[in-house]
Structure 1
Amino acid sequence: MRKSLLVKGGFIAVVFSSFTANAQDVETIQEVNSLIDDAIFFTDKYITPATDAAVYQAASGWMNTPRKSNLWDFTLGVHVNTFLVPKSDRQFRLSNSDFSFFNIDGTDSAMTPSALGSDEFVTLTGMLNNAPVVVKSPEGVNRETIIYPYIQGSLGLWKGTEIIAKYSPEINLKHVNYQVYGVGLKHNLSQYFKYLESKKISIAALAAYSKEDITVEFLDVQTSYGNLGFTSLNSLIDTWHFQLSAAKEFKKLELSAAIIMNNSDFEYEIQGEKGSIEEIIPLHDIVNERLTVIDKIKYNYIGEVAARYQFSRFYLQTSIAFGKFVNSNISLQYKFK
């Protein structure tokens, strides 16, 4: 059950007490509260598929090889990541019964694009301060695959340990901006087992941290107080990755398999130019405080298989990660000596 702003915490109660004293309009306060409730509900449904997908994309391609690296070995690679958008995450159903402020224009229920969905939309209508509020639902990236490039480097340290860093420029998709960067440590385990080394079998463990940053075009809410400033929604995701990989060498070809577990912390924030309603109540602050109710921590278990082929100092590698989603990665790497 959604909690009313009128009973959620001293800060919000004081804000609305002030608003009441200035506006003398309890009904308008209730309308604003209902509008915020609806915005929070819609945010969770709309953005969650994209943030879940971002975690999968960030989990892929961390370990070039589980083989032991020598001290100061340096490898630099250009990676291209391809994420397959499942149909089930491209849209969700909205019903009038989901809302307390808005109604879907012309129908009781409609399929609506998520951030990973199409460029279709539904029109939502409501009344604030006896004036109509008409909002077009945000559109999605309108792609069946999402492709983005990034660079990744690894440096050999002592005793079979390797530091790895990845960085992507901000990728501008339709209605969505996305960026990921991170750092990790790999340690070779097979060095402690001479039998495995003699059979050219390598095993390594990885611990890594990544930051996923997603910003989407959101709700353009025009009211008698001006735009409410919900035009942009940002999600910051902190993810810890843990990976165990094993590989077998066949001359210049290496085949590997891995198990990945990651732990992601999701946070959300409304951004955009503030409207004149901020002169009455700090709406942005209130909404962002309320958005904490959809903050979450999620765990994923992901499998990954990869093939890596060497020619001279270059390596061509391709991998596929699978679980809830499917994500592929191809890279060209150069090993400096």
Structure 2
Amino acid sequence: MKFHQEESLLRRMLHTQILMRKYQIQIIFICSLFFSLKSNAQSQSELEQIGYLLNDALFYSEQYIIPATDAAVYLSSSSWVSSPKKKKLWDLNMSLHGNMFFVPNNDRSFRVQNSDFQFFELENASSATVPTALGNDNQMYLIGDLGGEQVRLKTPEGINQEIVFYPYLQVNVGLLYGTELIARYSTKTKLKKGDYQVYGFGLNHNISQYFKSLEEKKINISTALIYSKEEITFDFLDIDTAYGNLGINKLSGLVDTFHFQLSASKEFERLEVITSLIANISSFEYVVGGKKGEIEEAFPLQQTVNTLLQRIAKDNVNFLGEISARYQIEKIFLQSSFAFGKFANLNIGVQYQF
């Protein structure tokens, strides 16, 4: 049994090494193709070094941004269902929310060492702890040599925030048969060294309307299906070389999420207490952007890197719990929600019932 486990582990390690080598060869081949069209004097060694530089950038981008895109799912998941109570036809509720995401300590940094890189190495160090996009503003220098000229850059900073806050507007409209349309939109929220935006829509359907005993006890149950789009962007690697700036100084995570939510509540006169179970299925993509560098005159680097970034695209499933309290004052509702799972998220909203 132990032998088979070791054999399986070795196979996975070998498969990973083969994939890494495959992308390295792909990068070097693309670089060779484009630069050979521009200059016959370009040495094979320099072309290989450019390939290694890009491979290091891809390695770093994966470690740097994935914790932030995982967190983005939680940022967008809270307080979609203001109440599972059945809405009347054309009931309109508009609300302004403030969302607070608590950045966990274990997702703020990662460890790198010189053996992780093929082109770069850490300046005056063999290993270091550097921030992820959710981390602090500590920076290290990476150095390399390309065509006899030093390439030196700072590692990207994190947002350096304990709490990520963003406001958004939400509209709920009652439809037929106890169904409710939900729409959410936030403008781009400025983070330190980045931006965040979310928007989406969904349907919430009341189930307790089919059970008179639940309605009599003022117990409400609903199920919701929601789609949201999140985009989170950070300042990334500003790399100057003998061929000009590489133009990969922005790195974005694009997240498409489907939320499945089951909610139940109990009414106590003006107060409603709500509990929810949420399941998310998210698709993640990553792209570099920003102002294109001078190197684009000879080589479509942004396009190439974005093609290669597809290898770290992934799908994730998350499960969250949420507890919420909603208090009515005439046509105004005050609501606070707390979502928890891998991360923790607090949401406070003010709603107006038209």
Which residue is equivalent to 2:190? 172
Which residue is equivalent to 1:276? 294
Tell me how far apart the structure 1 counterparts of residues 132 and 181 of structure 2 sit (CA, whole Å).
Answer: 36
Moved more, 276-285 or 92-101: 276-285
1:182-331 superposed matches below 5 A: 182-331=200-349
Tell me how far apart the structure 2 counterparts of residues 18 and 123 of structure 1 sit (CA, whole Å).
Answer: 29
Residue 154 of structure 1 contacts residue 164 of structure 1 at CA under 8 Å; is this kept in 2? yes
Moved over 4 A (4+): none
Confirm whether residue 45 of structure 1 aligns to residue 63 of structure 2: yes
Match of 2:33 among 11, 17, 42: 17
Residue 316 of structure 1 contacts residue 331 of structure 1 at CA under 8 Å; is this kept in 2? yes
Match of 1:117 among 120, 131, 135: 135
Aligned partner letter, 2:117? F
Tell me how far apart the structure 1 counterparts of residues 161 and 230 of structure 2 sit (CA, whole Å).
Answer: 20
Which residue is equivalent to 2:106? 88
Which residue is equivalent to 1:332? 350
Tell me how far apart the structure 2 counterparts of residues 261 and 178 of structure 1 sit (CA, whole Å).
Answer: 22
| Offset, 1:214 | 1.0
SS in 2 for 1:42: helix
Confirm whether residue 150 of structure 1 aligns to residue 150 of structure 2: no
Moved more, 222-231 or 71-80: 222-231
Residue 136 of structure 2 contacts residue 157 of structure 2 at CA under 8 Å; is this kept in 1? yes
| Offset, 1:294 | 0.7
SS in 1 for 2:288: strand
Aligned length, in residue pairs: 334
Higher helix fraction (1 or 2) = 2
Tell me how far apart the structure 2 counterparts of residues 43 and 6 of structure 1 sit (CA, whole Å).
Answer: 15
**Residues 18 and 215 (structure 1), Cα distance of their counterparts in 2 relative to 1, 3 Å cut:** closer
| Offset, 1:145 | 0.5
Aligned partner letter, 1:87? N
Aligned partner letter, 1:135? L
Residue 24 of structure 2 contacts residue 55 of structure 2 at CA under 8 Å; is this kept in 1? no
Per-residue CA shift, 1:39-86, capped at 9, x if unaligned? 111101111111111110101110000000000000000100000001
Tell me how far apart the structure 1 counterparts of residues 90 and 118 of structure 2 sit (CA, whole Å).
Answer: 61
Tell me how far apart the structure 2 counterparts of residues 18 and 322 of structure 1 sit (CA, whole Å).
Answer: 49
Per-residue CA shift, 1:289-326, capped at 9, x if unaligned? 11111111111000000011111011100010000000
SS in 2 for 1:3: helix
Aligned partner letter, 1:106? N
In structure 2, runs of 5+ residues without a counterpart are 1-16
Aligned partner letter, 1:228? L
Aligned partner letter, 2:33? S
Tell me how far apart the structure 2 counterparts of residues 300 and 6 of structure 1 sit (CA, whole Å).
Answer: 32
Residue 172 of structure 2 contacts residue 180 of structure 2 at CA under 8 Å; is this kept in 1? yes
Moved more, 12-21 or 284-293: 12-21
SS in 1 for 2:158: coil
Aligned partner letter, 1:259? L
Q: Percent identity at matched positions?
A: 49
Residue 101 of structure 1 contacts residue 126 of structure 1 at CA under 8 Å; is this kept in 2? yes
TM-score (structure 2 length as normaliser)? 0.92
Which residue is equivalent to 2:97? 79
TM-score (structure 1 length as normaliser)? 0.96
Aligned partner letter, 1:167? Y
In structure 1, runs of 5+ residues without a counterpart are none
Aligned partner letter, 1:243? Q
| Offset, 1:277 | 2.1
Match of 1:163 among 181, 205, 209: 181
Confirm whether residue 35 of structure 1 aligns to residue 53 of structure 2: yes
Residue 156 of structure 2 contacts residue 236 of structure 2 at CA under 8 Å; is this kept in 1? yes
**What RMSD over aligned residues (CA atoms) do the two structures have, in Å?**
1.4
SS in 2 for 1:33: helix
SS in 1 for 2:85: coil
Confirm whether residue 63 of structure 1 aligns to residue 86 of structure 2: no
Per-residue CA shift, 1:266-299, capped at 9, x if unaligned? 1111112222322322211111111111111111
| Offset, 1:6 | 6.5
| Offset, 1:20 | 3.2
